[in-house]
């Protein structure tokens, strides 16, 4: 259950008055998702049903949100499948609701996929390359707040909770990563969290990429590695049995390169990128497990999945 902030009908009616979306028809809390409160909101405009998603941001400050909402609008306007935020009459895409920042975005059709097909991996590879190319013209800059410095600080915070084996893998991976020259890889706007649960499909058509709230400027190769690590592994109940599906990896990489060729430097850094992407989510999941944020994280995601992914990449 992820409705942390309960919205009353009269509050929503007043909120919607600042949008050109017609009048409230119905609304319903969305149970999926962990970070934010989300509602499906239906309105009637000129006799037609219109459908939106209302997000109430539980952690972000009002100052940092325009960057993300502007990217969503920018990408949608550049024909990258994303949900366009709805403009208010008064102040860009952002408003306050129940004392917290909130935004109304288009509701996408389709649903997230649990076990993506080779075709869907190809679609994602191509669309991520298009996202990266479009982002080259996006002017706002945001640093990656989940970079190697964050990983090292997080490790210091949690290492007293970790096993010797976990500490040893992580320390040895930091040592390996310190030898990679990330500064010379091509950078741009990256999604940074494009897991299967952040893309909506209708059959084999990507209807939209969601949850752009880790987007930042960073090496584009890293974004591709984050995606391969989630979309191209065969999801096994026992993390120790996870393997990669080479057909999905090939489909994703070749579709990406149909749109944007990887440079020689990127190709050389690919194994390190896969490892860095695995390390980032291994650490964030370990942190959520050992130092859970109070009152939330109803679904802790298993860190062992990314321990296994990291081990697979370290041994290949
Ligand atoms: N624009 C949209 N159109 C249709 N459905 C959406 C849209 N945005 C979100 N959803 C639905 O709401 C669910 C929760 O959204 P989301 O994953 O963004 O939650 P969150 O709590 O903000 O983030 P996270 O799960 O990463 O913590 C999604 O799984 C999806 O089903
Ligand atoms: N996609 C992340 C959670 C949100 O950042 C994970 O699966 O660990």
Say how many Å lie between the CA of residue 133 and the centre of ligand 2.
Answer: 24
20-35 pLDDT, tens digit each: 999 999 999 998 777 8
Distance in Å, CA 316 to ligand 1 centroid? 34
Domain 9-107 listed as CATH 3.30.200.20:
yes
Question: What is the structure's pLDDT at 295?
Answer: 54
Is 60 touching ligand 1 by the criterion CB < 6 Å?
Answer: no
* DSSP conformation letters of 204-271: TEEEEE---TT-EEEEHHHHHHHHHHHHTEE--SSGGG-EE-HHHHHHHHHHHHHHSPPPHHHHHHHH
The per-residue pLDDT for range 192-203, each reduced to its tens digit, is 999 999 999 999
Residues (pLDDT < 70) of the chain are 1-2, 294-299
Residue 83 CB–ligand 1 contact under 6 Å: yes
- Which ligand 2 atom lies nearest to the CA of residue 214? 5
Which of 248, 233, 255 shows the shortest CA–CA distance to 308? Answer: 233
Q: How many A from CA of 211 to the centre of ligand 1?
A: 7
Could you tell me how far CA 316 lies from the centroid of its own chain? 26
Residue 42 CB partners (closer than 8 Å, separation 6+): 24, 25, 26, 27, 49, 50, 51, 52
What separation in angstroms does the CA of 127 have from each of 133, 188, 209, 234, 298? Answer: 10, 15, 9, 21, 31
Strand ranges (E), the chain: 23-29, 37-45, 48-56, 95-97, 100-106, 111-112, 187-190, 199-202, 205-209, 216-219, 233-234, 243-244
Nearest ligand 2 atom to the CA of 197 is 1
Q: Which CATH superfamily is domain 112-314 in?
A: Aminoglycoside phosphotransferase (APH), C-terminal lobe (3.90.1200.10)
Would you say the CB of residue 312 lies under 6 angstroms from ligand 1? no
Task: Work out the number of other CB atoms within 10 angstroms of the CB of residue 46.
Answer: 6
Ligand 1 atom, smallest distance to 111 CA: 31
Instruction: Find the 15 Cα to ligand 1 centroid distance in Å.
Output: 20
Domain spans, the chain: 9-107, 112-314
At 33 the pLDDT is 74
pTM of the model: 0.95
Buried b (16+ CB within 10 A) or exposed e, 48-60: eebebbbbbbbeb
Cα 88 to middle of ligand 2, angstroms? 30
Compute the distance between CA of residue 189 and CA of residue 216 in angstroms, rounded to an integer: 6
CB within 6 Å of ligand 2 — which residues? 193, 195, 281, 284-285, 301
* 9-107 matches 112-314 in fold: no
What is d(CA 74, CA 306) in angstroms, rounded to the nearest whole number? 32
**How far, rounded to the nearest angstrom, does the alpha carbon of residue 110 sit from its chain's CA centroid?**
17
Closest ligand 2 atom, residue 35 Cα: 4
Question: What pLDDT is attached to residue 287?
Answer: 95
Cα 53 to averaged position of ligand 1 atoms, centre (Å): 8
Nearest residue by C-alpha to atom 1 in ligand 1:
107
Nearest one of 59, 53, 119 to 82, comparing CA atoms: 53
């Amino acid at each position: 259950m992820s409705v942390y902030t309960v919205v009353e009908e009269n509050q929503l009616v007043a909120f919607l008055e600042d949008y050109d979306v017609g009048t409230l028809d119905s609304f319903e809390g969305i149970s999926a998702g962990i970070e934010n409160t989300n509602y499906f909101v239906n309105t009637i405009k000129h006799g037609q049903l219109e459908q939106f998603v209302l997000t109430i941001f539980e952690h972000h400050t009002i100052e940092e949100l325009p960057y993300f909402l502007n990217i969503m609008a920018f990408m949608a306007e550049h024909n990258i499948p994303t949900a366009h935020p709805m403009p208010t009459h008064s102040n860009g895409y952002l408003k306050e609701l129940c004392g917290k920042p909130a935004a109304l975005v288009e509701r996408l059709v389709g649903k997230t996929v649990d076990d993506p097909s080779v075709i869907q991996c190809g679609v994602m590879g191509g669309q991520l390359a298009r996202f990266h190319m479009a982002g080259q013209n996006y002017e706002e800059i945001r640093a990656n707040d989940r970079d190697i410095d964050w990983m090292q600080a997080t490790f210091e915070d949690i290492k007293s909770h970790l096993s010797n084996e976990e500490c040893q893998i992580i320390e040895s991976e930091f040592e390996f990563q310190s030898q990679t020259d990330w500064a010379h890889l091509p950078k741009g706007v990256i999604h940074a969290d494009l897991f299967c649960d952040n893309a909506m499909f209708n059959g084999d058509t990507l209807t939209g990429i969601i949850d752009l709230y880790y987007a930042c400027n960073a090496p584009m190769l890293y974004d591709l590695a984050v995606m391969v690590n989630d979309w191209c592994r065969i999801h096994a109940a026992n993390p120790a049995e996870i393997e990669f599906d080479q057909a999905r990896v090939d489909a994703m990489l070749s579709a990406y390169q149909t749109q944007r060729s990887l440079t020689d430097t990127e190709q050389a850094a690919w194994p390190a990128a896969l490892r860095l992407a695995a390390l980032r989510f291994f650490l964030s999941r370990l942190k959520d497990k050992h130092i859970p944020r109070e009152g939330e994280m109803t679904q802790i995601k298993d860190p062992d999945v990314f321990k296994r992914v990291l081990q697979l990449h370290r041994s290949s």
